[in-house]
Amino acid sequence: MVMPLALLVVALCAVLGGWAAWFVVRDRAVVLRQLWGAAVVEGVLVVQAVVAGWLAVSDAPPVDGVLLWGYVATQAVILPVAAAWAFAERTRWSSVVLLVAALTVAFLEYRLLQIWGAV
């Protein structure tokens, strides 16, 4: 894994999670701008998956491919599912869903770094 890219994912997830937490405290539903923020995080995750694939076929340290790609695939699915759920749920709980999804992706990013051996 490329450490700056991983840190970018964690930072973006922290910002998105903080934004969602602010909406939870204010008892507000998710707004479209937050879903665009989740799309930005998803775009960075796609770039990271491409980089991980390139590093996996090059001379990177050997890792368990099933475990690595399981985490990458899970990360890729969490935010779109949460965004669809948050868009359908027009209450405060939509912000809770987005907050949990952002925190989950940040934690999975940390686990990816551990699997890769960067942490």
Other C-beta atoms closer than 10 Å to the C-beta of 64 total: 9
The stretches in the chain having pLDDT less than 50 are: none
The pLDDT assigned to 7 comes to: 94
Compute the Cα dihedral for 113, 115, 118, 119 and give only its sign. Answer: positive
pLDDT score at 66: 87
User: Residue 60 has what pLDDT?
Assistant: 66
Q: How many beta carbons lie within 10 A of that of residue 76, not counting itself? A: 15
pLDDT computed for residue 97 by the predictor: 96
CA distance 48 to 105: 13
| pLDDT value for 118 | 65
